Each structure stands twice: as C-alpha cells, then as structure tokens.
Amino acid sequence: MTDSVLTLAAHLAALIALIALASLFARKPLRLSWAVAAIVVFAVYWAALMYGSKIFTLDAMQPLADLVPSKGWNWRGKIVSILTTLAMTGVVSLMLKDAWTRAGFTLRQAPGSIGPALVATALLVAISCTLEYMAHDGTDTSPARLLFQAVAPGLDEEPFFRGLWLLLLAEAFAADQTRILRFGYAGIVSSLIFGVVHGVAVQDGALQIVPLAILYPGATGLGLLWIRERTGSLLVPILAHNAINVALSFF
C-alpha cells in the first residue's frame, strides 16, 4: 500500500477511536448510523483532496486543466475536495431539514456576533504569528504561496470540518447535550481530527507523529469552531482561516 493510503488508515483509526472514546463519556447513546456516515464522508473527502487532481488528466477536463496549475500548490485537489463537500452536503440535505443552513452555508450572521468573531479572529492571527515567529523556521512570501493561502485553505477546510462534517458528528451525538468548555462532543472530535490530519502521516512506510503539529492546528480548530458557532455561518471562519495562513507566511 502507498503511504497516502496508510495515512488515511491512520486518520480513520484515530477518528474511530475518538468517536468511540467520546461515546463512552456521553450520557446518551451514540447514533451509530450518523457516526458511520461521518466516517465514510471523511474518507471520501480525504480521497478527493489527495487524488482529485487525477480528474484533470481526463481529456474532457483538458480546457480546465490548462487553467489550473498541476505543480506546486495542490489547487486541483482543493478544487475537487471543495466540490465534493458541496455535493455531499447536497445529499445530506435530502435527509436533514435545513442541512445547508445548519452546516453554516449562509451569509446571515447571528445578531451581535460579528464584533466578538472579529476579536477572536485577531487573537487567533496574533497567537499564530507569535508561535510561528518563535519557531524560527523561515518565511515564504512568494506570490504563489500567498495566493494559495489567501484562497484555498479556508474555502476547502472550513466547509468540511466546521460545516458538513460537524453537522454529521452533531447528528451522531445529537441525544447528548453535554458541553466541555462550551464545546459539544462533535466539535471536540472534529477539532482533534483537524489536528491529527496535520500532524500524523506515513512516510516511507513509517508512521510519523508530530505532537506540536497536532496540538496547534487542533487548538486553532477550536478557535475557528467558536467563531463558527457564535456567528452561525462559515463566512468569518473561512476569512479567519485564510488570514491566519497568509499571516504565517511572513514569520
């Protein structure tokens, strides 16, 4: 098996373990069908992100392929994963009423939420830049990087992790209203896995685990989740996510 397939297996193992662990602490039974749906959707999203670029090699996609670079940043994979998330949300909307709105696909912001959301965004950017500066791992302000970071990460990862996937996990834990630091089990699991996908990988057949690469994105994910739940929309989390990534390029 390739490293990418083994990496997916590691991520799925972590996801299943976290859902199982959360279900043990939950006061109400886990809705297994929605938990399984969350696991399947995660695998489909991951495959779209990693292998979606292959679609652009089809003859019918050649006109579009000429417009989207194939080297450097993973524009092609991001485009496919974004479209996949939208398609899967459409399928879920056939089963759940108001699925699009509940997943945050709305421009409507909760009353009084914009101010706190912008303050939280500023704090996330400041903390992220401080940690990146302390890491002393160099800067990269190339136009290609800045363009990618200003567009792709937020548009891809927020609709999935704080949108569709959060909705599916919320359905899995719907019977339990327990809150830990104001976050439900769905939010905690989604944020932890957000860290795992950044810090766990298989390279040359060996499992690589980077604790800081798990902790920092996981904590940032919780911050973005707070903004998402406070505003009721994906708009500010998308902008905040991209702002963080662009700012990190300078430190």
Assess if residue 65 is contained within a domain. no
Query: Cβ(211)–Cβ(81) under 8 Å?
Result: no
Assess if residue 13 is contained within a domain. yes
| Amino acid at residue number 89 | T
Count of structural domains, the chain: 1
Assess if residue 87 is contained within a domain. no
Assess if residue 198 is contained within a domain. yes
| pLDDT for residue 220 | 97
Assess if residue 120 is contained within a domain. yes
Per-residue pLDDT of the chain (251 residues; tens, 9 = 90+): 589 999 999 999 999 999 999 999 998 899 999 999 999 999 999 999 999 999 988 888 888 888 888 788 999 999 999 999 999 999 999 999 999 999 999 999 999 999 999 999 999 999 999 999 998 888 999 999 999 999 999 999 999 999 999 999 999 999 878 888 779 999 999 999 999 999 999 999 999 999 999 999 999 999 999 999 999 999 999 999 999 999 999 99
Separation of first and last alpha carbons in the chain: 37
Assess if residue 66 is contained within a domain. no
Q: Concatenated DSSP letters for 73-125? A: S-HHHHHHHHHHHHHHHHHHHTTSTTHHHHTT--S---TT-HHHHHHHHHHHH
Between CA 236 and CA 162 the distance in angstroms is 11
- Residue 39's Cβ-side half-sphere holds a number of Cα atoms within 13 Å equal to 19
Q: Residue 206: in which H helix or E strand, if any?
A: strand 206-209
Assess if residue 79 is contained within a domain. no
Assess if residue 27 is contained within a domain. yes
For residue 180, count CB atoms less than 10 angstroms from its CB and return exposed for 0-12, middle for 13-18, buried for 19 or more. exposed
| pLDDT for residue 1 | 59
Give me the domain span that covers residue 171: 3-40+100-248
What is the CA 88 to chain-centroid distance, rounded? 15
* CA–CA–CA angle 208, 127, 197 (5° rounding): 25
Beta bridge partners of 180: 183
| pLDDT for residue 16 | 97
